[in-house]
Amino acid sequence: MASLEQLPSSLIDTIIIPVKLARFIGQEFFDYDKARFENYCRLILFLLLSFMFTFGLIYFIIKINELDAGILEIANAIPNLFLVTQSLLKLSLIRKKHLLRSVVYEIAELWPGDMENREKKELMDYWLHRTKTTCASIVKLTVVGILLFNGIPFVIYLILRILDKNPAYVLPYEVYYPFEIDSEWKFMAVLLMQTITTLMIYECSYLPSDMFLFSLTVNLSMLFRLLQHDLVNINVDRRGQGADEFLENLKNIVKRHQKMLKLAEDLNEIFGAILFNVLVFSSLIICLFGFLSIVTTAKSQQIMYLTAALEILFAVFYIMLPGQILSDTSSGVADAAYESPWYNSDQRFRKIIAIIIVRSQKPCQLRAMGYTVMNFETFYKMCGTTWSYMSVVNQMYQNTL
């Protein structure tokens, strides 16, 4: 059960992007016996670059007095430090790779095969297309955001260089280096290293855990939706010879439902700490980037910081969305059971339908270690909290002028 090839191809398509991104930095969730030495080398290189970058951010904050750093420089360093910390904490997902792999294979067991029902096939195709499109778009959006954030200082430098303005060497990240950046080749080398490091951190460490969460949760939600279809369209027969057969079909639906409820709990066990990590850091990160986009006078820097704030805000929405979808589809099972033709069935059939309805009254939810539910309501509250933080920070800054 360690091979990715054992899964249905349509299921593989929904999780292949995070698998490849994690594999790029040596994190292998499937086929982990292959290329083990190469994976170790990739992981060591990634950790070396990440810790050098993190240490530079921390040391800059420690040496703020000696470096004569201003409020805006500090406000740049802190959210980037929190982002890197978030990314490194998300590496802990590899510790639960056995449980994650187990969830994937349990979903594969519930995965529909070739379906003759056209309506059901169209429903499944719609969900799969939406999942794959969203994951691919997230990767592209993140790459564009990182390149924009890193590339604007470089473009400004080139423009001023062409105009013979003798531009300063301005880097996108406030990182301490044990040498002076006093030449063009040093500036280019450091900028290139920062770009490569941040691309690896945010694309290959920050994103994969979120994409696994999104893909697996939406896949589970799709299974809930297909189960609803089966309930609504189930055949019943009060006294005919097929009554026992139809009752057995309903019992199989109940067994599928029980497995799905268990999978939802497993997802909370896998991702609960990561979700809590996002809630703890994200409001402050968005607040500080938003604050910088307001108070910075240079238009280019305003675009940088606004891009960063919107990227993180969208990343938070990206993990709230599957929680809302899971809650809606799991609670919809009760409605589907009620809409089934139970009124034409016998007493045994009706009792099972009643049990399904009662069990579905409490929807499945993604939780951040039991702290809060990940849904749209929490997203709205977090946006309100972030706005309040940003208003306070901006007011404090204005009072110092």
What pLDDT sits at residue 190?
A: 92
What pLDDT sits at residue 65?
A: 77
Model's pTM, two decimal places?
A: 0.91
Contacting residues for 76 by C-beta, under 8 A, at least 6 apart: 173, 174, 288, 292
Lowest mean pLDDT among 34-48, 207-221, 325-339: 34-48
Half-sphere exposure of 280 (CA within 13 A, CB side): 14
Phi and psi angles of residue 352, each rounded to the nearest 5 degrees, phi first: -65, -40
DSSP per-residue letters across 59-126? HHHHTHHHHT--HHHHHHHHHHHHHHHHHHHGGGGGGGHHHHHHHHHHHHHHS--S---HHHHHHHHH
* 367, β-bridge pairs: 373
Nearest in space to 379 (alpha carbons), one of 368, 393, 392, 390:
368
Higher pLDDT, 114 or 94: 94
Say how far residue 371 (Cα) sits from the centre of its chain.
Answer: 18
What range does the domain containing 290 cover?
Answer: 4-400
Nearest in space to 350 (alpha carbons), one of 243, 228, 261:
243
pLDDT at residue 50 greater than cutoff 60: yes
* 373, β-bridge pairs: 367
What span, in angstroms and rounded, lies between the C-alpha atoms of 198 and 190?
Answer: 12
What pLDDT sits at residue 237?
A: 65
Lowest mean pLDDT among 109-123, 196-210, 273-287, 320-334: 109-123
Contacting residues for 27 by C-beta, under 8 A, at least 6 apart: 39, 43, 91, 93, 94, 208
What span, in angstroms and rounded, lies between the C-alpha atoms of 179 and 266?
Answer: 49
For the chain, how many structural domains are there in total?
1
Question: Average pLDDT of 15-39?
Answer: 82
Tokens of 392: 């306070």
Question: Average pLDDT of 238-244?
Answer: 60
What span, in angstroms and rounded, lies between the C-alpha atoms of 205 and 382?
Answer: 23
What pLDDT sits at residue 72?
A: 83
Rounded to 5 degrees, what angle do the CA atoms 276, 305, 307 make? 80
Q: From residue 146, give the alpha-carbon distance in Å to each of 61, 122, 149, 181, 312.
A: 22, 36, 5, 22, 11
> Of the segments 54-63, 319-328, 387-396, which one has the largest average pLDDT value?
319-328
pLDDT (tens digit, 9 = 90+) per residue, 340-355?
887 777 788 888 888 8
Question: Average pLDDT of 188-192?
Answer: 92
- Percent with pLDDT over 90 in the chain: 36
Mean pLDDT of the chain: 87
